[in-house]
C-alpha cells in the first residue's frame, strides 16, 4: 500500500533541501544521457545519409567493369582493353533472366557552353535504361527515344547542377548548348539526386545517347565500345543469380577458356553499400555503448549521494520506522528520490543532447538525426539507472534497525 | 487478558568482552486504561524496557505479549504495523521530521496506514485541536516551542487511535510549566479516551500524575506501587 504521489512529493522535498548536491548528482546523468543522444544522433545521421545514397544510386544494382581483378585485388589492366561492347549489354538484357535492365555507359569529361556561360562536366553516353537502372526520374522534358539512340541525335539530358551553372533561372528545355563545340538540344532535366556515397555531386552530369557519345564525342578505334555497364536485377534476391548469369554470358561472348580469368569484373554495388550501411549501424551502437558508460558513471554518482543521504537521514528513517513505515515504504521513498533525480537528469540530458546535436550539425555540418527511439532509449535507460543504483541504498536504509536508527546522532 | 504482559524479559548487550545486562528477568502486566510511570536511575534499563514494549527492539530472552500476541514471532513489517496502529511514541527529543509542517508530521502515521486523503486531513486536524494546536498546523517544527513540538508529537501518537502511548521522558526537555501542560494532556487522554499511558521520568512530580509507578534498578524491577491519583 504505497502512496505514489505522496512519496514523489516527499522525494522532491528531500531533493530540494539539498539543491546544489541534487544538481551536481543529476549533472552526471545529464551528461551521460546527452552523450548517448548526441552519439546516436551522429550515428543515425550517418546511417540515414548512407541509406539515402544507396537508394539514390538505384536499387539492386550491379556494375560490370572491363578488365579482371585477381584474387589479390590487383587490377590486371582493367579498362585498358575494350572488353565491353553495346552488344554485350544487349546480350545480357536478352539472355539473363534475372536482369531487369541494362544501361551501357561510355563517359568522358567535356566543356559545355551556353551563351557566355561554360562549365566542365561529366558526359555520360547511355540509353534510356539508365533512368530505370538508377531509379532516376526526369524533372522535366523527355528521355531518349529509340530514334535518338539509333540515329545518334545530338540531344541531351541535364543534371540540375549543370542547369544551375549554365542557365541560372532560365528554362533549359529546347535550348541549344555546345558540347565539345557540337550543338546539342536539351530535351530533359534530371531530378535532383544529391551527393553520392563517394561524395560526388551526382547532379553535375549530362547524359547523351550512347551512340552519339560513341560516334561524335568519345570516338575510339573500337566501334560499339562502352566503358561500363550498370545492371539492375529483377529483385534483391536475384542479385546473385544475375551476377552468375552475366559472368556466364560474358565468358561465352568473350571466348574465355576454362582455365582463363575473366576479362571483366562484376561488382554487386548494392551489397557493398549495404555492408557499409551495416558497419555504420554497428558504429552507431558502439558510439552509443561508449556514451552509456558515462551514464553508468552518473548512476554511480547517484548511488554515492543516496548512500550519503541515507547516513545523514538515519534518524529520520528511525522516526518513520517508529511510527509504522514498513520495509517497502522506506525502500520506495529512497528509490523514488534516485528515480526522480535520474529522470530529471534524463530530461535535461535529452534537451542538452538535442541542442548539442543541433550545434554539431551546424558547426561540423554532420547529418545528425535525433530519433524518437534514441530519446526513448535514453529516457528508459536513465530511469533504469536510477532504480538500479538507487536500489542498494534504499535496500540498506530499509534494513536499518529502528532503534539504532532512532538513536543515531 | 492483560494489554501488556512481560514474562521474564532480559536484554543483554555485548560490547566486545563486556556484557551489559540492561534488563534482567523483568515480569509485569499492564491492563488497558492504566497510567503507569517508570522511574529509576540513569542506566537502569528504562528506555530499553520501553523500546521492547514499543516493538522497536526485541528481548534477548523472555516473552512479550501485546494483546495476547507473542511479539517474538513477528517479522519486521508485522512489528511496523503494530507500531503504526497500536502504539504511539512520544520521545524526549520530540523526533518530529524537520522541514515538515506540523500537520504533515501528524498525518505521517496515517500515510503508512493507508488512510484516504480526505479523512487524513480531517483526522490530523482533529488530533491537532485535541492538543490545542489547530492554529499552528502549517508551522514547521523550528517555528514551534518545545512544548508545542511535544504536543505535535502527541497528536501524531494519537492520530491512528493507538490504545497505548509510550513516552520516554516526554518532559525531559521542558520547563515545569510546560511539563504540567503536557502531563495534563496525558491525563485527559487517559481518563477521557481510555488510552493506556506508560511514561518514563526522572522526576517524582511527574510520576505523581500516574496511578502506578514502576521502579528499575540495574535492569531489575525493584518496586511496583499503585497510588491514588493526586492530580485531576
Ligand atoms: N545499544 C546499546 N548497546 C550497548 N549497551 C546499551 C545499548 N543500549 C543501552 N545500553 C546499556 O543498557 C543499559 C540500560 O540503558 P537504558 O538506555 O535503558 O537506560 P535508562 O534507564 O533509559 O537511562 P537514562 O535514564 O539515562 O535514559 C545502560 O547500561 C546502557 O549502557
Ligand atoms: Mg533512557
Cβ distance of A402 and B56 shorter than 8 Å = yes
Considering only A29-33, A51-55, A396-400, B115-119, which range has the smallest mean pLDDT? A51-55
CA of B111, closest CA in chain A: separation in Å? 7
CA–CA distance, B88 with B197 (Å, rounded to integer)? 9
CA of B149, closest CA in chain A: separation in Å? 15
The pLDDT of residue A270 is: 72
Q: Which helix (H) or strand (E) holds A181?
A: none
CA–CA distance, B203 with B212 (Å, rounded to integer)? 14
Chain A CA closest to residue B111: A3
The pLDDT of residue B143 is: 96
**Domain hosting residue A34, numbered range:** 4-53+275-407
Query: Total domain count for chain A?
Result: 2
User: Does A361 reside within a domain?
Assistant: yes
Mean pLDDT of all residues belonging to chain A: 87
Give, in order, the Cα–Cα distances in Å from B24 to each of A160, B64, B172, B220. 100, 14, 26, 5
Ligand 1 atom 24, closest CA:
B42
Choose the CATH number for B4-226 among 3.30.930.10, 3.30.1330.10, 3.50.50.60, 3.40.50.300: 3.40.50.300
So where are chain B's domains?
4-226
Ligand 1 atom 31, closest CA:
B43
- For chain B, the maximum distance between any two Cα atoms, rounded to a whole number of angstroms, is 54
Residues contacting A328, CB < 8 A, separation 6+: A2, A398
Give mean pLDDT, residues A361-385: 87
pLDDT tens profile A61-71: 898 988 765 54
Model confidence at A78: pLDDT above 50:
no
Model confidence at B10: pLDDT above 90:
yes
The pLDDT of residue B9 is: 96
User: Does A394 reside within a domain?
Assistant: yes
Model confidence at B83: pLDDT above 60:
yes
Find, among A278, A272, A250, A248, the residue nearest to A263 by Cα: A250
Q: Ligand 1 in contact with B48 (CB < 6 A)?
A: yes
pLDDT tens profile B23-59: 999 999 999 999 999 999 999 999 999 999 999 999 9
CB distance from B123 to chain A under 8 Å? no
Give chain A positions within 8 Å (CB) of B96. 319
Q: Same domain, yes or no, for A235 and A185?
A: yes
Q: Same domain, yes or no, for A255 and A300?
A: no
Distance B201 CA to ligand 2 centre (A): 9
Give mean pLDDT, residues A296-321: 94
CB distance from A400 to chain B under 8 Å? no
pLDDT tens profile B167-183: 999 999 999 999 999 99
Model confidence at A81: pLDDT above 70:
no
Ligand 1 atom 29, closest CA:
B43
Confidence tier at A329 by pLDDT (50, 70, 90): very high
Q: Ligand 1 in contact with B22 (CB < 6 A)?
A: yes
pLDDT tens profile A86-108: 889 999 999 999 999 999 999 88
Report which ligand 1 atom has the smallest distance to the Cα of B219.
14
DSSP-derived letter for residue A72 is T
The pLDDT of residue A147 is: 87
CA of B196, closest CA in chain A: separation in Å? 17
Write down which residue in A209, A234, A262 finishes a domain.
A262
Distance B50 CA to ligand 1 centre (A): 11
Q: Ligand 1 in contact with B40 (CB < 6 A)?
A: yes
The pLDDT of residue A193 is: 85
The pLDDT of residue A75 is: 47
The pLDDT of residue A73 is: 47
Give mean pLDDT, residues B186-206: 95
Write down which residue in A221, A236, A262 finishes a domain.
A262
Question: Which of A37-46, A166-175, A259-268, B140-149 reaches the highest mean pLDDT?
Answer: B140-149
Amino acid at each position: 500500500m504505497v502512496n505514489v504521489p505522496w512519496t514523489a512529493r516527499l522525494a522532491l522535498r528531500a531533493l530540494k533541501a539539498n539543491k546544489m548536491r541534487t544538481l551536481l548528482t543529476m549533472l552526471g546523468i545529464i551528461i551521460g544521457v546527452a552523450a548517448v543522444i548526441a552519439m546516436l544522433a551522429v550515428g543515425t545521421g550517418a546511417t540515414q545519409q548512407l541509406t539515402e545514397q544507396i537508394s539514390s544510386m538505384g536499387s539492386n544494382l550491379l556494375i560490370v567493369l572491363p578488365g579482371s581483378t585477381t584474387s589479390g585485388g590487383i587490377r590486371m589492366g582493367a579498362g585498358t582493353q575494350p572488353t565491353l561492347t553495346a552488344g554485350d549489354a544487349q546480350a545480357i538484357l536478352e539472355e539473363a533472366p534475372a536482369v531487369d535492365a541494362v544501361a551501357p555507359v561510355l563517359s568522358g569529361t567535356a566543356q559545355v557552353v551556353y551563351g557566355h556561360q561554360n562549365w566542365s562536366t561529366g558526359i555520360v553516353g547511355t540509353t534510356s535504361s539508365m533512368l530505370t537502372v538508377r531509379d532516376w526520374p526526369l524533372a522535366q522534358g523527355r528521355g531518349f527515344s529509340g530514334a535518338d539512340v539509333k540515329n545518334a541525335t545530338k540531344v541531351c539530358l541535364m543534371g540540375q547542377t549543370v542547369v544551375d551553372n549554365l542557365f541560372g533561372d532560365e528554362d533549359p528545355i529546347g535550348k541549344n548548348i555546345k558540347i565539345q563545340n557540337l550543338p546539342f538540344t536539351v530535351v530533359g532535366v534530371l531530378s535532383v539526386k544529391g551527393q553520392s556515397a563517394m561524395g560526388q555531386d551526382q547532379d553535375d552530369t549530362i547524359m547523351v545517347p550512347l551512340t552519339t557519345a560513341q560516334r561524335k564525342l568519345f570516338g575510339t578505334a573500337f566501334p560499339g565500345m562502352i566503358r561500363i555497364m550498370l545492371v539492375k536485377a529483377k529483385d534483391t534476391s536475384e542479385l546473385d543469380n544475375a551476377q552468375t548469369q552475366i559472368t556466364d554470358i560474358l565468358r561465352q561472348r568473350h571466348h574465355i577458356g576454362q582455365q582463363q580469368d575473366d576479362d571483366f569484373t562484376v561488382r554487386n554495388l548494392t551489397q557493398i553499400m549495404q555492408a557499409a550501411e551495416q558497419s555504420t549501424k554497428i558504429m552507431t551502437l558502439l558510439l552509443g555503448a561508449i556514451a552509456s558508460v558515462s551514464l553508468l558513471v552518473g548512476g554511480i554518482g547517484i548511488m554515492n549521494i543516496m548512500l550519503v543521504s541515507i547516513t545523514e537521514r538515519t534518524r529520520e528513517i528511525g522516526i518513520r520506522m517508529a511510527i509504522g513505515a514498513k520495509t517497502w515504504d522506506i525502500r520506495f521513498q529512497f528509490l523514488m528520490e534516485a528515480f526522480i533525480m535520474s529522470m530529471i537528469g534524463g530530461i535535461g540530458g535529452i534537451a542538452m543532447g538535442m541542442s548539442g546535436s543541433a550545434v554539431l550539425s551546424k558547426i561540423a555540418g554532420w547529418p545528425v538525426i535525433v530519433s524518437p527511439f534514441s530519446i526513448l532509449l535514453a529516457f528508459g535507460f536513465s530511469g533504469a539507472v536510477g532504480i538500479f543504483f538507487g536500489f542498494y541504498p534504499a535496500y540498506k536504509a530499509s534494513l536499518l534497525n529502528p532503534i539504532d536508527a532512532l538513536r543515531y546522532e | 487478558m492483560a494489554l501488556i504482559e512481560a514474562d521474564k524479559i532480559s536484554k543483554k548487550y555485548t560490547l566486545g568482552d563486556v556484557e551489559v545486562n540492561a534488563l534482567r528477568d523483568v515480569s509485569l502486566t499492564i491492563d488497558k486504561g492504566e497510567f503507569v510511570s517508570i522511574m529509576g536511575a540513569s542506566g537502569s534499563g528504562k528506555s530499553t524496557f520501553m523500546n521492547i514494549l514499543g516493538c522497536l527492539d526485541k528481548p534477548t530472552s523472555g516473552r512479550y505479549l501485546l494483546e495476547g500476541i507473542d511479539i517474538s514471532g513477528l517479522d519486521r513489517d508485522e512489528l511496523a504495523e503494530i507500531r503504526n496502529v497500536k502504539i504511539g511514541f512520544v520521545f524526549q527529543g520530540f523526533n518530529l521530521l524537520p522541514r515538515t509542517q506540523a500537520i504533515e508530521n501528524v498525518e505521517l502515521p496515517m500515510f503508512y496506514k493507508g488512510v484516504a486523503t480526505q479523512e487524513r486531513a480531517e483526522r490530523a486536524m482533529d488530533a491537532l485541536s485535541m492538543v490545542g494546536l489547530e492554529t499552528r498546523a502549517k508551522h514547521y517544527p523550528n517555528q514551534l516551542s518545545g512544548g508545542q513540538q511535544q504536543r505535535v508529537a502527541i497528536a501524531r501518537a494519537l492520530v491512528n487511535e493507538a490504545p497505548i502511548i509510550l513516552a520516554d521522558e516526554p518532559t525531559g526537555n521542558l520547563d515545569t510549566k510546560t511539563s504540567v501542560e503536557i502531563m495534563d494532556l496525558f491525563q485527559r487522554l487517559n481518563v477521557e479516551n481510555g488510552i493506556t499511558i506508560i511514561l518514563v521520568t526522572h522526576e517524582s512530580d511527574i510520576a505523581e500524575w500516574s496511578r502506578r509507578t514502576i521502579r528499575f534498578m540495574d535492569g531489575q524491577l525493584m518496586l511496583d506501587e499503585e497510588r491514588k491519583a493526586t492530580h485531576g
